[in-house]
Structure 1
Amino acid sequence: MKLRTLFTLILLLYSAAFSVPAFAVSSIDFKLTGVSGDIEDNIDSYLSTIAVPKGNNYSFFESKVRKNIVDSIQVFGFYTPEITLNLTLDDDELLVFIDIKLGQRVKLANVNIQIDGEAADDPMFLTLLSTKPLISGANLSHQNYDKFKADITKLAIERGYFDGKWLKSEVRVSVKKHRADIDLIFDSKERYVFGESVLSNQTKSASIISELATFKEGQEFESNLVSEYSLALFNSRYFQSASVAPDLNARKDGQVPIIITVINHPSNTYEVGVGYLSDVGVRGSLGWKKPWINNRGDSISADFEYSTVQQELTLNYDIPIEDPITNIAKIQLGFQRKDNQDTDSKLFTLQLQRQFELESKWLRTWFIKVEQEDFTQGSQVGSSLMILPGVSFARTKQRGGVDPYWGNQQLFSVETASKYWGADTDMLKVQSRTKYLRSIDRTHFFTGRFDLGAIYVDEIESVPASMRFFAGGSQSIRGYDYETVTPTDDAGAYIGGRYLTVGSLEYGYQFAEKWRIGIFADAGTSTNDFSEPVSVGVGTGIRWLTPIGPVKLDFAVPVKSDTDNKYTFHLYIGPEM
């Protein structure tokens, strides 16, 4: 026993002294040749899941690498690749050199795709089948197969074939012949229709919810109508949250009930805003809204805006007609006090509106305004009563939420006054504002704005001060004080113009996730006879992108100005569109 123990000890010492030591590997670097593009990316994805080998046992590691490569390549229809591996240690990093010869690609031979049940005649399924990527003679792609199968399943759910099932779905590959056969047979069963819509919670808004419905009981199911219904409820200003969903567990007799859940907005909501502009000083706003007055859905709101040159109070009473989002009547009362430069005005307004969204998504508003104004404009002191029927069209389209990267905004309005119905003068006023926003790679932003207006009247002095055109300021021509670009009388006092032409071009560059810098040029005029030179302002600004919209700080200078101002700056918060 002593001799055997001694022999074992000697053997252990010999093994420790002369065996190859195990190197600890801390990282792996795979270097691929022979492939590129999507195939290389997919191989990299598969290899990234392989753990660092432990000890000297590289045989298992190599087999794992080969298996992952084969699996990643077969997705694209390559079943007979040649793979060469070379492993090298560089300190504690394992370098794995891999050369791949893809070999011959498997082609599709027999492709059998069949839709049974009511979906066989569904136009949406016929369209999907007409665009199928699985065609005899094409290269085998398991990605295309999986996606097309998933598209059929998804479309079945979207179209109400809730009992549909796959009778057969398989890919049979002959590696020897480099060919594959596909069988996809789907039985859609019957198509469900909308059943009863059920409110999951008690709410006084039942009539509003019913009016906003995008489908009727007994209508064939479409998931996009469910989504539109949910969005309509959310956008209706009545609900803090809203969801519409089919109750699949309760479906029977070809009908699926719809569960509607809403949470009303608080009884009263408030909004506060503040800003500063060098031409008008501190600006503030306070808004109040009571979204529910009665079960019909009437609402009331009030807005107060203050600056050193203008104060305005507006009360609104909204009455839903058929659709509380796109079809409403509005009663509006307003008071405006302005004391700016050579303008001193007090304006009282009563306005009746009828708003309706057209199929083209334009919001059309018929209105009639009664305005009583006492004003001093330059050396003119006047008082007027205007009864102004008119119509406006407005549309805003954008992508990107509170910080859009693409958008269009248009507003056109026409209003008229006549002595025949009690106004102090005969007049026609037309006005438009158009704004475009485009971006490249969401890094370079280009914005264009154009404001046009005209008042057709014998004498501009017969038009009250609040209706005349003035330019200049943060929303007009930056670099000029608020409403200082306008005709003047013989004493040099501002009198306002009958025509307005203003344009703006701006370029923005996003240099950080939440920061953007911009340069801009604004130009235009307010005039009575176009004898005045065009006023031009240029400048630069910084934008801080926040969840409530960009915070914008602009510095602008007039290219040529008769005033003593050398620059203006504007700080404000709000969306681009």
Structure 2
Amino acid sequence: MSQGVVRLLLIPFFALAAGVNAAPSLELRGGSDALRDNIQAYLDVGSQSCRLARWHVRALGQELDRKMEEAARALGYYHLQSEKNFTRTEDCWRLQVDLTPGPQVAYEQVTVLLEGEGANNRDLGRARGNGILREGDTLNHGRYESYKSRLLQAADAQGYFDARYRVAEVLVSQERNTARVNLILDTGARYRIGDIRIEHDILSDDLIDRYVTLETGQVYESEDLVKLKSELQSSNYFGSVSVEPQLNALNEDQVPVNIELLGGPKHSYSVGAGYASDIGPRILLGYENRYLNSRGHSLDATVNASEVITTYQVGYSIPMARPAYEVLRLYTGYTQEDINDSVSNRLATGMNYSSWESSEWLNNFGLSYEEEEFRFGDAPATTSELVIPMYSTSYTSSRDVKYPRRGWNLLVRLKGASDAVVSSTDFAQIYSRVKMILPLGEGRLLLRAEGGVTEVDDFSKLPISQRFFAGGDASVRGYDYKTLGPKNADGIVIGGSRLLTASVEYDQKVYGDFSLAAFYDEGTSFNKGYLDPYRGVGVGVRWISPVGPVRADIAKALDGDEGWRLHLSVGPDL
């Protein structure tokens, strides 16, 4: 590289006395932003003294040349030329550098080979071909070193703790402006899980063993340890969880694992408040005894009260065979509901078995006894008794819970009752809801549809809680909560045996975590053979908060005499 030209102004610059807060300054001109930023990071002009002797200027010029060459070569510039000008300022001095970077070196050949037991490991193969180093790309030594480190980290994650580079070189031809990369990683042998030492103080060995699915002799994967730690932390039993391989105690081809669990607070209390246009202001009070006994049984009690719906519930949960994914919950609760001249008081006692088949797929099996007194307007109250078996399954696919650009959710629920088993009426019901998010331009397209069918012997005996209603924040906007559906002779909405709604929405971020939306909703609840859907259209603003989108929508009802309505809601998109 050219040593450049140093033009020294022969003025009393060398004897300049620095001011108290004065410091040298650097100005770089020419080349790319990345090159200038890298050279700026390499040069340490600001720490130099404002008082320079002649010999110091010459030495500084040589040192700057060396550092600029290092900074340029790090980005593939092997032919950098520069011209430097030192000038005096009022209280110090300034260095101005004009850069002529020349051509950038490109990868002519990239060879990365795996040897040893991990030569055919799929995860290592994916890490090797992650595309950071590609033939034809410009040489970047930082990316090269990063690639080497990532590949070694991937080997460690798969249990190849003895992995070493047998060959690691970058061969640069300055004449042809090309580079060849040769990497040969010898993975060595793959380690397996050795002795597993568990320290815990609040739960039984049997329950801990059901959580800890690691087995001595299985191949080591760091992902298994990370997953186990996450499951233990999510259990709410522990205040501190440590799951660590003992890399300083490797024994032949095994790595010991230490698990340390410290019990967390036994009692938990919660107080919350919120607002939604469907139900108005609400408060939430909660209590939980996280471990009643060493078997991990827990007790919870909640009160959720709003202007129109109040629920009291007590639950008792029992961890099952796969405690991180299976739980049996026994519960009893009382719900009071008074919406649009529809009044319901319901006592429900039952059990629910939840099983996560994966992080996306949840199955629920339930059985409940429900006694409900309900009435519409001033009509006499009706009392129903139902024994309801229930099954539901839901699947959610999304990479970003907070603001997904792509994803979908499906929920299907089946339930019913028979007058042959205590119940006051026969009914069978299926309900399904699907949500989908797709990228569209700079924004997102949000689609939603739901449908339900109930077959019942005597609809008048079906309680309010088992009927379908439409309208509201999460249904057809522009209409009040549960105001769409069949009406009785007094004009009171009494719900239907069928449900069908759909929504199309587009939103786009406009500033930070704020986005604007436009939407069209349509649907209603109805009875067999008669469908007269209602339509709503509107716009809204969203704030992408840590707990999910906070939505404020202004919607216009296109049917009936509802007019405009404000909808406020909080919750995930899927």
Q: TM tier, shorter chain?
A: 0.7 to 0.9
- Provide the C-alpha distance between the structure 1 equivalents of 2:452 and 2:419, rounded to a whole number of angstroms: 22
Q: Give the C-alpha shift of residue 157 in structure 1.
A: 1.5
Shift of 1:344: 1.8
CA contact 2:103–2:177 (8 Å) conserved in 1: no
Q: How does 1:122-521 map to 2 (within 5 A)?
A: 122-125=121-124, 141-143=140-142, 145-166=144-165, 169-171=168-170, 184=183, 186-204=185-203, 206-277=205-276, 280-359=279-358, 361-378=360-377, 379=379, 381-400=381-400, 407-437=407-437, 444=443, 446-457=445-456, 459-508=458-507, 510-513=509-512, 515-516=514-515, 518-521=517-520
> What's the offset of the Cα at 1:343?
1.3
Paired position in structure 1 for 2:27:
30
Structure 1: runs of 5+ lacking an equivalent: 1-16
Normalised by the size of structure 2, how large is the TM-score? 0.82
Question: Does structure 1 conserve the Cα–Cα contact (< 8 Å) formed by 2:266 and 2:291?
Answer: yes
In the alignment, which residue of structure 2 is the partner of 1:54?
A: 50
Rg larger in structure: 1
Structure 1 residues 107 and 195: alpha-carbon distance in aligned structure 2, compared to 1, 3 A threshold: closer
1:374 CA displacement: 1.9
Partner letter of residue 224 of structure 1? E
Structure 1 residues 544 and 396: CA distance shift in structure 2, 3 A: closer
Shift of 1:63: 3.3
Distance (Å, rounded) in 2 between the aligned partners of 1:549 and 1:194: 39
Q: C-alpha deviations, 1:128-170, integer Å up to 9, x for none?
A: 5577877999976534542343234213311223244455545
1:18 Cα deviation (Å)? 8.1
Q: CA deviation at 1:271?
A: 2.2
Unaligned runs of 5+ in 2: 1-9
The CA deviation string for residues 450-500 of structure 1, in whole angstroms up to 9 with x for no partner, is 332221235532422221111223333333222111211222122211222
Q: Deviations over 1:241-275 (max 9, x none)?
A: 42311111222233222121233342221222222
Residues 275, 572 of structure 1: 8 Å contact kept: no
- One-letter amino acid matched to 1:540: G
1:226 Cα deviation (Å)?
Answer: 0.9
Paired residues of 1:28 and 1:52 also in contact (CA < 8 A)? no
Root-mean-square deviation (CA, aligned residues, Å) is 3.9
Aligned to 1:74, the other structure's residue is in SS state: helix
1:338 is paired with a residue whose SS is strand
TM-superposed CA distance for 1:359, in Å, is 4.8
Is the alpha carbon distance of 1:53 and 1:60 closer, same or farther for their aligned partners in structure 2, counting shifts above 3 Å? farther
Deviations 1:424-464 (A, max 9, x none): 333221112333456789x8565443332221235532422
Q: Which whole-Å CA distance do the structure 2 matches of 1:554 and 1:132 have between them?
A: 44
Instruction: Tell me which moved more, 472-481 or 289-298.
Output: 472-481
Match of 1:4 in 2: none
Deviation at 1:122, TM superposition (A): 4.4
Aligned-residue offset at 1:225 = 0.9
CA gap of 1:47–1:502, structure 2 versus 1, over 3 A, is farther
1:194 CA drift (Å): 0.8
- What is the deviation of 1:61? 4.8
CA distance, structure 2, for counterparts of residue 172 and residue 537 of structure 1: 64
- Does the aligned pair in 2 maintain the 1:279–1:568 contact within 8 Å? no
What is the CA-CA distance between 1:176 and the residue it aligns to?
A: 7.2
Displacement of 1:65 after TM fit? 3.8
**C-alpha separation between the residues in 2 aligned to 1:276 and 1:151?**
47
AA at the equivalent of 2:268: T
Q: What does residue 5 of structure 2 align with?
A: none
- 1:70 & 1:18 partners in 2: Cα distance? 29
Amino acid at match of 1:477: V
Alignment partners' CA distance in 1, 2:133 and 2:402: 42
Matched to 1:310, the amino acid is I
Distance 1:261 1:513, change over 3 A: farther
Report the 3-state secondary structure (helix = DSSP H, G, I; strand = E; otherwise coil) of the residue aligned with 2:206: helix
Q: Give the C-alpha shift of residue 333 in structure 1.
A: 1.9
What is the CA-CA distance between 1:217 and the residue it aligns to?
0.9
2:23/2:47 contact within 8 Å kept: no
- 1:210-244 CA-partner distances (Å, limit 9, x unpaired): 21234211111111111111111122333344231
Q: Which residue of 2 aligns with 1:7?
A: none
Contact 2:170 2:181 in 1 (8 A): yes
1:157/1:425 CA distance change after superposition, 3 Å: same
Deviation per CA, 1:177-203: give whole Å up to 9, x if none.
877776655554433211222224433
AA aligned opposite 2:78: Y
Conserved? CA contact 2:434–2:448, under 8 Å: yes
The number of residue pairs the alignment matches comes to: 555
Contact 1:275 1:573 in 2 (8 A): no
Deviations 1:287-329 (A, max 9, x none): 2222212222222222222122222222222222211232222
Q: Partners in 1 of 2:296 and 2:370 — Cα distance?
A: 28
Q: Residues 114-133 of structure 1: CA distance to partner in whole angstroms, max 9, x if unpaired? A: 65554456454456557787
Change (3 A) 1:435 1:420: same
The offset of 1:204, in angstroms, is 1.9
Q: Read off the aligned partner of 2:271 and give its amino acid letter.
A: V
- Change in Cα spacing, 1:539 to 1:458, as seen in structure 2 (3 Å) is farther
Report the TM-score, using the length of structure 1 for normalisation.
0.81
